[in-house]
Chain A
Amino acid sequence: MLLVVRDLTVALPIGGRLVPIVESVSFTLGAREILGIVGESGSGKSVTSLAIMGLIDVPGARVSGSVRFRGRELVGLAPRAYRALRGREIAMIFQDPMTAFTPVYTVGRQIDEQIRVHQKISRADARSRTVRLLGDMGVPDPERVAGRYPHQLSGGLRQRAMIAMALSCNPALLIADEPTTALDVTVQAQILDLLRGLRREYGSSVLLITHDMGVVAETCDRTLVLYSGLVAERGPTGALFAQPGHPYTAALLDSIPPLHGPRPARLPSIPGSPPAPAERPAGCPFAPRCAYAHEACAVRPALVASGVQDVACVLPAEGRPLPPRFVAEMSA
């Protein structure tokens, strides 16, 4: 396993006390695998990824649990050792390519910088690698693009440059935090194609963070559903889409417009909003919004195996799992 996360808990100081934003999140990621982390805003997706990168720098924040990357423990790793890892073995691309590049330097210079920080090579060699990478990412006329400033490029080109920068040192793990959210739909599809191709051409594993179930279905081998900082469900994407074990997963899937059958007048949505981390109920955090909530939900459910998935819900154990869904488009 490339990455083994066990009981990762990230607590941030809010209003004078430590509030766990992410609680006991566990998952694994194999080589050349794409794992999707899904959830609403505030579910802790980004915090999880930043914790893996060691980029949580809020004063007083506490990260506990274990993150093992290639057998090496990352929680509590010395800053210098972490720095050598960041950008070289674990790279990250961010949601908004508009603001993720420093505005005053050319794109090429920023990619060169990352290469030269991690490897002792000449400026010219770094630049030729930059140009090759940009070309690989489908950037037309990469030489010229490398000499341009971020604001002179379109969103799609910028995200391609961002991915080129992330891949510049051949990282084993790429964390993509909502890489397509800020892009046009057509460009989205191209970027997702690019991400899928990475494992073939670069042998990279990808941790794809998104709130878009459609993106997950298209891209990810396995899926982790987060709700209010807790794992709701995890398992192979196909199985999870075919028979969701957690009512939250089912509700998320219901909110995708169906491709077949009659068009619904209004898409079903989940009533209410997720609890703030400080006001998370003692029992199942989803219970207040759940149609299946009953007295057993007052105790926080443990993650239990249900079919090929792991589900944090009492329904499968009570012998009344959710019904399978009709997912014709998944077989394609």
Chain B
Amino acid sequence: MVMAVLRRLGQTLFVLVGISVLVFLVFFATPGADPTARIAGRNASPETMARVRVEYGFDRPLPVQYARMMEKLFVTRDLTSYVNRGQKVVPEILEAAPVTVSLVSGAAVIWVVLSVVMGVIAAALRGSWVDRGLMMLGLVGISIPVFWLGQVVNLVTQSRYHESWLFSWVPGLGYVPLTEDPLGWFRALALPWLTLAVLFVGIYSRVLRADLVAVQSEDFMRTARAKGLSPARVLLVHGLRTSMITFVSLFGLDFAQLVGGGALLTEVVFGLQGVGRLTYQALSNLDLPLIMATVMYSAVFVVIANAVVDMLYLLLDPRVRDGR
């Protein structure tokens, strides 16, 4: 077990290095494009160009350039944006990360709880109108574009009905740090959470229901019933526990993808200064250092989340523990 964990950590490190090399090559070693000009900005003086070239080592071989870049990202952390001159990129991301993490974690709690409840009820009442209704609801959730839903939520809670008793608690758009005002944090994020969760509740409840229905025909479920267990116990203790394996791997990927900046639309609609929004700005301004940094950040999250999922596998499935 310890060996398996260590091995997995080693792989994670290896993959991270690989990704950083890849990202570096894509942005700074694309043939025919001079990264110096892009980093220095439009109409830069020859002196600036020369300074940038020396600073980033663009006059030296690629491995040195790579080492410089990694040093700027992780050690000195003084990679600077060229659109907003003097703006340091790494602190900017570190400032945006808690916003995104707050948004995604809250939404994740909602979507996991709701989808497990919906999936289990639908599977238990398979074929009934409850099952059909819940799955239809899930499909509706999947089909609603998140930016549209966010806009509608804003329209309803921010302007038209803001004064009504129902929505008067909703604060203006924006983020309130948890450490400053926990209640304010909760109120500011409640609606973004729900909005972001809708899509995933739909997907996850449908996936879980399908898994639970498939597991019903397994031999061990028949054994469990032959033991005289109640239907609820058979479904929850034997069925759900086994079906959680797919659920967790799906969750790891989605969660990482969102924390890495995938919640961009929700962040933009609700005015949250998160990583997704930062990426969006960097892309629209072609802010190369910022893009580089956000991509690295997102890759780190996806890879780490994958490692965490694999560790969870070890807990969930004893067969994986033995490497079978």
Q: Which residues of A approach B to under 8 Å, CB–CB? A: 53, 55, 59, 83-88, 91-92, 94, 96, 99-105, 113-114, 117-118, 149, 151-152, 162, 165
Contacts and interface: CB of A to CB of B under 8 A. Distances in A.
Interface string B5-48: 00000000000000000000000000000000000000000000
A91 B223 CA distance: 10
Contacts of A101: 220, 223
Interface of B: 127, 218-220, 222-230, 233, 237-238, 241-242, 316-319, 322, 324
Given A85-B228, A114-B228, 6 more contacts: A55-B225, A94-B223, A94-B226, A99-B218, A100-B220, A162-B223
A107 B229 CA distance: 16
16 contacts: A55-B225, A83-B228, A83-B230, A85-B228, A88-B228, A94-B226, A96-B219, A99-B219, A103-B317, A104-B317, A105-B241, A113-B229, A149-B318, A149-B319, A151-B319, A152-B322
Question: Which residue, of B220, B233, B316, has the highest number of chain A Cβ atoms within 10 A?
Answer: B220
Contact of A118 (B222, B228, B238): B228
Contacts of B227: 86-87, 113-114, 117, 165
A94 B221 CA distance: 12
A149 B223 CA distance: 16
A115 B226 CA distance: 13
Nearest to B126: A59
A293 B227 CA distance: 45
B230 A53 contact: no
A174 to B, nearest CB: 11
Given A149-B319, A151-B318, A151-B322, A103 B228 contact: no
B242 A87 contact: no
B228 A117 contact: yes
A103 B227 CA distance: 16
Contacts of A92: 226
Contacts of A100: 219-220, 222-223
A129 to B, nearest CB: 15
Nearest to A149: B318
B319 A117 contact: no
Closest 8 A/B residue pairs (Cβ): A87-B228, A86-B228, A99-B219, A149-B318, A87-B227, A102-B220, A114-B227, A92-B226
Contacts of B317: 103-104
A104 B241 contact: yes
A134 to B, nearest CB: 16
Contact of B219 (A94, A105, A151): A94
A91 B222 CA distance: 12
Contacts of B222: 55, 94, 100
Of the listed residues A85, A86, A103, the one surrounded by the most CB atoms of chain B closer than 10 A to its CB is A103
A117 B229 contact: yes
Contacts of B324: 151
Contacts of B241: 102, 104-105
Contacts of B224: 102
B319 A55 contact: no
B226 A87 contact: yes
Nearest to A162: B223
B226 A103 contact: no
B318 A104 contact: yes
Contacts of B318: 103-104, 149, 151-152
Nearest to B226: A92
Nearest to A85: B228
Contacts of A118: 228
A320 to B, nearest CB: 45
A104 B219 contact: no
A86 B127 CA distance: 26
B225 A86 contact: yes
Contacts of B319: 103, 149, 151
Give the interface centre of B220, B223, B316 by most chain A CB atoms within 10 Å.
B223
Given A94-B219, A151-B318, A152-B322, A102 B242 contact: yes
B230 A103 contact: no
A118 B228 CA distance: 8
B155 to A, nearest CB: 45
Nearest to B220: A102
Nearest to A86: B228
Contacts of B228: 83-88, 114, 117-118
A84 B241 CA distance: 24
Contacts of A105: 241
A208 B291 CA distance: 69
Contacts of A83: 228-230
Contacts of B229: 83, 87, 113-114, 117
A105 B225 CA distance: 16
A59 B127 contact: yes
Given A99-B220, A100-B219, A149-B318, A55 B226 contact: yes
A4 to B, nearest CB: 21
Given A113-B227, A149-B318, A103 B220 contact: yes
Contact of B226 (A91, A104, A149, A152): A91
A104 B223 contact: no
B245 to A, nearest CB: 8
Nearest to A84: B228
A55 B218 CA distance: 14
